[in-house]
Chains A and B, each alone.
Chain A
């Protein structure tokens, strides 16, 4: 087990800046998820930690030891690849035992540890098969087995579930979480799926364009996103964002409506433009009146336990989620109330 520290990490391919001054510090036994849109540098960061990618500037430490110059074999990390990267010519048993054979572990011990790992992952009946004779989910387990068998001090996962269908993804997600609870080893997990990030992580690192946007527990990110980007990235359906201007005292003006804020946000002067966010389930349908926004109902989507309404307010398309039955038809005018304490204010 080990802590991991990224210090001012920069990565450049020729002229392309992929990562810029990234600082992340991960403590022993933590489950940290790197999340962000495609191309933001998640895999690059992970591969630099693994030793597969040279570091342009900055330093990476594992257990307080700088590993910049260490080859992957000396970093005591195991990695699960997106496409599993199983050895196609080796049986499942040989795949799982490979990392042990490479360092000359005695044969009886390899056999014992491989069968333990296979037992844990439900692979025992498949040990003699070749990877191509397995289903996607089984291959995924073999890749996990190959990592688990080593008892490394850090596990790295690069979108390990993205090739699986939805239900299998949910199941494997649970298994990875259980694995972490059982082993207690530091795990770093890359995904662009915010639900995976929310459910798995002790802490989430949101990356955007090669920079860290925010680091925090899932609830911190959900309740107090540091930027509109994080606000819209975390949570589903995504948070609504309105453009507005700061009014005098404690009001914000959106289109023609003055909306009350609970407290005056600090550092924003009167007349300044800002962004106001609110989650779809925090918006309520109400009666016309002061402080309500009116808009035109465009779409009603039934989700069984709730309804998702799409409403056009001025130039903004707003989604709201409501538990109530809706008798309105598209085209109807509706009025939205937004509780002040549910509003997220971002300077623009």
Chain B
């Protein structure tokens, strides 16, 4: 054995690389570099752009670096409003999607007949591209011909609206369309989470005189806590980033009432053609959503007694 090992011994420099503690890191180095390149480079470019002055209406200013875009941002009332709309949109879609997904998951978990069909029905909206979702809801919301107003004709005391044109209804209307499109993501997670809860716990709870609501409150919810926490983060980011539904349905209107950060960024880049200011708004969006997610994580209780996970 020893002699064989001896015969194949590598030169000492190579053996340090391959046999030493650095070996695992050397193995993943190419992947790390690749990831760093793919993820890091566009970010760095966005940061660089936000300090530059690339605006097609003032081409001469290009190459002037400084904090002027950030100064402008701090003084821009539209940016504050957009931040508020994005946050509202995010909160609305998270609450709507979690509520919708949880309801759907609870409804379909025990169905025996056509269970596949029921699940597919709830997953279907997810397969619809956001652009198509926007078109579908645009037609449904239409003040004159939309199916929503037609249905409301049968409901006393609630009048039809120009949903996307009224200031008060535009943002909620967008949120409903977004929820319809994205809640299936949460739905499949919840369905999987529900399946993992042993039936025996519900049987014990029934024997222990818990009613349906108490079973939900004391068995289901505690077991789903971790999944809900993860889903909320996912939905927060999705909500903050969403663009196509808003852009197609209202374009930020009426009169800026739905102009979220993403729409404002788009307008800055492709209407005003001020790419550097758009990049600055983009940086604001990243920082704001990161802070919201971190803030949410702080709100979650630490793992310990009373936790499932």
Q: Give A contacts to B, CB under 8 Å.
A: 50-52, 71-73, 77-79, 81, 83, 85-91, 98-99, 102-103, 128, 130, 146, 150
Within 8 Å CB of B209, what residues of A? 72-73, 99, 102-103
Return B10 CB to nearest CB of chain A, in Å.
49
Q: Give B contacts to A, CB under 8 Å.
A: 198, 200-201, 203-211, 214, 218-219, 222-223, 305-308
B208 touches A98 (CB 8 A): yes
With contacts A73-B211, A87-B205, A102-B205 known, what are 8 further pairs, Cβ within 8 A? A51-B207, A52-B206, A78-B207, A85-B204, A89-B307, A91-B306, A102-B210, A150-B208
Return A130 CB to nearest CB of chain B, in Å.
6
A85 touches B219 (CB 8 A): no
B200 touches A72 (CB 8 A): no
A87 and B219 in contact, given A81-B200, A102-B214, A130-B305 (Cβ under 8 angstroms): yes
A81 and B204 in contact, given A89-B306, A90-B306 (Cβ under 8 angstroms): yes
Closest to A94 in B: B306
Number of A-B contacts (CB under 8 A): 63
Tell me the bound Cα distance from A35 to B222 in angstroms: 37
A99 touches B203 (CB 8 A): no
Return A88 CB to nearest CB of chain B, in Å.
7
Within 8 Å CB of A50, what residues of B? 207
Tell me the bound Cα distance from A52 to B206 in angstroms: 8
Within 8 Å CB of B206, what residues of A? 51-52, 71-73
Closest to A73 in B: B209
A52 and B208 in contact, given A89-B222, A91-B305 (Cβ under 8 angstroms): no
Within 8 Å CB of B222, what residues of A? 89
For the complex of A and B, 3 pairs with smallest distance between CB atoms: A85-B204, A99-B208, A73-B209
16 contacts between A and B (CB under 8 A): A52-B203, A52-B206, A72-B209, A73-B206, A73-B209, A78-B207, A85-B201, A87-B201, A89-B307, A99-B207, A99-B208, A99-B209, A102-B209, A102-B210, A102-B214, A128-B305
Within 8 Å CB of A88, what residues of B? 308
B308 touches A146 (CB 8 A): no
Tell me the bound Cα distance from A50 to B208 in angstroms: 11
Within 8 Å CB of B306, what residues of A? 89-91
Tell me the bound Cα distance from A81 to B308 in angstroms: 21
B214 touches A89 (CB 8 A): no
Within 8 Å CB of A77, what residues of B? 207
A102 and B208 in contact, given A89-B306, A91-B305 (Cβ under 8 angstroms): yes
Within 8 Å CB of A90, what residues of B? 218, 306
B223 touches A85 (CB 8 A): no
Within 8 Å CB of A86, what residues of B? 204
